[in-house]
A and B are shown apart, each in its own frame.
Chain A
Amino acid sequence: MDKIKFATVWFGGCSGCHMSFLDLDEWLIELAQKVDVVYSPFVDIKHYPDEVDLCLIEGAVANEEHLEQLYDIRKKTKILVSFGDCALNGNVTALRNLHGEPDKTLELSYKSLATLNNIPNFDYKKIARLIKKVKPLHEIVKIDYFLPGCPPDAKRIKYFLEKLINKENPVLEGELLKNG
């Protein structure tokens, strides 16, 4: 059997889901027999390749770069998975939505609730602008599967990947379906 082309992506999240992925420990060696990691924060590849079979996306869509990348990834990927609570419902990343516009969030985090007293001059040629409202992935593109948890524990990730690699339908139930 040919190895499947596997990618993981990190958007607006704390990377906890990726840390949890590393908790798969020795099973990662088994996984490496079945997949080629073609794009991931774990590997040094700059561009998302064409024809990816399976991609896990951690984090919510929080800035213009995420937004652009998400459309691109959807076009180039067969099976797209919302990986963790931020990706599937915004979670902590989306808490800034409660305060309205992004400028308000910057003011809260750099001025009123911080020891700094000014908002840094961000160079928007180098860093992406925040979008108005943080959104879960499925509000923007079609998502094929949802893997909840903050973070999803390694057991859940393993179950999910085993099913998808074997071209079966992962169905989460009970404890495996718990958010948070």
Chain B
Amino acid sequence: MSVKTFSIDGQIISAKEGQTILEAARDAGIFIPTLCHFTGLTNVGACRLCVVEIGNSPKLQPACTTKVIEGMEVKVNTERLKEYRKLILELLFAERNHQCSVCVANGNCELQNLAIKLGIDHVRFEFRYQNYPVDISHELFGIDHNRCILCTRCVRVCDEIEGAHTWDVAFRGANAIVITDMNQPWGESESCTSCGKCVLVCPTGALFKRGVSVAELQKDKSHLEFLIQAKVKKQWIR
């Protein structure tokens, strides 16, 4: 396997052939923010938080889907990128209801943590205040579409790890929602195995265990990481 050498913010990095910029950066301990990425699942470049600058190209590229090329010069922390990442998060906050004080995931939320990390103290866009549905027809789990950021992690974990493909995305733009089977209530889904991987992988409070109240939702991802490692790398180690 050949080694690719490139630079991130002037630092020389070695990457394995076929690695993405994000993987190589994480191996080198360099932070690039992500929301839709989850190690072991296919990268789709949906959230755009991991965009980076490459060479002198004015076009930004998502680090999670861009493979390392020998000699490329990548910048991951410029003022321009910081501003864009803030804008992306603020747009997510403005699109649906992400009020932390009344959310099951308050204190355990990747969206909330990232907003803190990127220094967002208020949202500069007007909030949309659209009422999205809540589905609690499943006996164990529920989904609040108001909290969904359409990262599609649930869609991918259900398809690629569980093999059920219960979840998918329907409709377009701000009206897009994740659906179960043929857009029927989750409790009536025939393909759902009730494994709960979608709940564990969800970065926000959109997918939750029924019965948890504000700030009570804990998402222990270690079991999920174990399953993904077993499935993808055939390594059954904890």
Interface residues of A (CB under 8 A from B): 82, 85, 88-92, 94-95, 97-99, 133, 136, 138-139, 143, 146, 148, 150, 172-175, 177-180
Contact = CB atoms under 8 A, between A and B. Distances in A.
Interface in B209-237: 215
A92 B116 CA distance: 20
B107 A180 contact: yes
Contacts of B123: 89, 136
Nearest to B102: A92
| Residue of B93, B119, B127, B130 ringed by the most chain A CB atoms within 10 A | B127
Contacts, number: 72
Nearest to B123: A89
B112 A179 contact: yes
A173 B100 contact: no
Given A89-B127, A90-B127, A133-B129, A180 B101 contact: yes
24 contacts: A85-B99, A85-B101, A88-B122, A89-B93, A91-B99, A92-B99, A94-B99, A97-B127, A98-B129, A98-B131, A138-B124, A143-B122, A146-B122, A148-B121, A150-B101, A172-B121, A177-B116, A177-B120, A177-B121, A178-B112, A179-B99, A179-B100, A179-B115, A180-B101
Contacts of A172: 121
Contact of B131 (A99, A133, A174, A177): A99
Interface of B: 93, 97, 99-103, 106-107, 112, 115-116, 119-124, 126-127, 129-131, 215
Secondary structure call for the B interface: loop
A49 to B, nearest CB: 27
Contact of A178 (B99, B102, B116, B129): B116
Nearest to B129: A97
B122 A94 contact: no
A180 B103 contact: yes
A94 B127 contact: yes
Nearest to A171: B119
Nearest to A177: B116
